[in-house]
Amino acid sequence: MTTNELRAIQAPIKQQYQQQPETAMISLHAEGTLGDKVSCHVATGRTQVNAGLPEATGGTGELTSPGDMLLEALVACAGVTLKAVATAIGVTIQYGVVRAEGDLDFRGTLGVAKDAPVGFQAIRLTFELDTHASEEEMETLVRLTKRYCVIYQTLQHSPSLELSIETLAAS
């Protein structure tokens, strides 16, 4: 996609959001069904992912780890965002790899150590790019990818989060 093609696609959307800001607020949805043993089947739009316990908490490794899914979402979002930014500013990327890795102390998740946090303690996002971009263009790619990547921003600035349970009447 060229810079002009991207701008042509996004121009009417941006104009609508400027003129009618309320139309920019969209709720995304995800749903899963509880599976056998300790698992959850999540519909991802194109396929279904069967998530289960990571091996570090007793899983077999046959099912996808929810922690891996979080990193995969970050990789997908950051990759798409970087490509969009590169396209918008006219930077050509011949090839690229996006990697995310995160550190967890599973003692917290398993309740083994009360002082061990539950969740990622650090996440590293790395791009390996084949490009002739200048140092200034690379700095712009990094800055704008951080700014506009939804998952990156969500992880950096946690949103309000609620959990509720609704019971279904037993038949």
Domain ranges, ordered by start, for the chain: 30-64, 65-158
At residue 113, φ and ψ (nearest 5 deg) are -135, 115
Q: What is the pLDDT of residues 22-43, one digit of tens each?
A: 999 998 888 888 988 899 999 8
Q: What is the pLDDT of residues 52-111, one digit of tens each?
A: 999 999 999 999 999 999 999 999 999 999 999 999 999 999 999 999 999 999 999 999
Nearest to 154 by CA among 120, 128, 106, 126: 120
Reading phi first (left if > 0) and then psi (alpha if -120 to 50, else beta), residue 119 is in left
CATH 1.10.167.10 fits 65-158, yes or no: no
